[in-house]
Amino acid sequence: MDDRDDAARTVRQFHEETPHAVSVSVTLSTHTREVLSAVRDDLNDRAGEPILDTNDVVRLALEGAARYHDRAPDDGSDVHALTAAVRDAVDDG
């Protein structure tokens, strides 16, 4: 199995296992939309097909922030406090 197969399997699994029941309308800056689109396009390219949408990328970013908090040292930084809030929300969700 090559990297493309691994990427496709992981992307499909994330998309299928992540709840899609609630859709929220969010106003984003142009820069944020461009970054999210670039991440989405890169992941879909790695998977070899368009599987993820922008909502998936936002959920992935939140999951990443929650996991970052678990691994990052508690140095009192604002980032650590913010990721704690994300981790708590993801854990409660």
Give the DSSP letter string of the chain.
Answer: --HHHHHHHHHHHHHHHS--S--------HHHHHHHHHHHHHHHHHHTS----HHHHHHHHHHHHHHHHHHS-----HHHHHHHHHHHHHHH-
Global model pTM greater than 0.75: no
Question: In the predicted model, what is the mean pLDDT of the chain?
Answer: 77
CA–CA distance, 12 with 26 (Å, rounded to integer)? 24
Within the chain, which residues score under 70 in pLDDT?
1-4, 18-26, 72, 74-77, 93
Q: Within a 13 Å sphere around the CA of 79, how many CA atoms are in the beta-carbon half? A: 10
Domain boundaries, the chain: 3-92
